[in-house]
Amino acid sequence: MSGFPWAAFAQNLGFAAGAAFAVMLVTFAVAVRKGLHRIVDVAWGIGFTAVALVSFAASAGEGDDVRRVLVTALTAVWGLRLAAHIARRGRGHGEDPRYDAMLAKAPGNRDLYALRMVYLLQGALVWLVSLPVQAAQYVPGPVTGFAWAGAALWVCGLFFEAVGDAQLARFKRDPANQGKVMDRGLWSWTRHPNYFGDFCVWWGLFLFTCDSGAAAAVSVVSPLVMSYLLTKGSGKPMLERHMAQRPGFAEYVARTSGFFPLPPKPRR
Given a cut of 80, is residue 207 above it in pLDDT?
yes
Q: What is the DSSP string of 181-223?
A: PP-SGGGGT-S-HHHHHHHHHHHHHHHTTTTSHHHHHHHTHHH
Model-level pTM?
A: 0.94
Q: What is the DSSP string of 70-133?
A: HHHHHHHHHHHHHHHHHHHHHTT----HHHHHHHTT-SS-HHHHHIIIIIHHHHHHHHHHTHHH
Task: Tell me the CA end-to-end span of the chain in Å, nearest whole number.
Answer: 55
Which value, in Å, is the radius of gyration of the alpha carbons in the chain? 20
Domain layout of the chain by residue ranges:
6-255
Given a cut of 70, is residue 238 above it in pLDDT?
yes
Per-residue pLDDT tens digits for 151-194? 999 999 999 999 999 999 999 999 999 989 999 999 999 999 99
Per-residue pLDDT tens digits for 239-252? 898 888 888 899 99
Q: What are phi and psi of 246, to 5 degrees?
A: -75, 135
Cα angle 229-180-95, degrees, rounded to a multiple of 5: 55
Per-residue pLDDT tens digits for 16-72? 999 999 999 999 999 999 999 999 999 999 999 999 999 999 999 999 999 999 999
From CA 244, how far away is CA 198, in angstroms rounded?
Answer: 23
Given a cut of 50, is residue 14 above it in pLDDT?
yes
Name the nearest CA neighbour of 58 among 8, 96, 6. Answer: 8
> What is the pLDDT averaged over residues 249-265?
94
Name the nearest CA neighbour of 201 among 71, 85, 87. Answer: 71
Measured in whole angstroms, the distance separating CA 181 from the mean position of its chain's CA atoms is 24
Given a cut of 80, is residue 2 above it in pLDDT?
no
Number of Cβ atoms within 10 Å of the Cβ of 83: 19
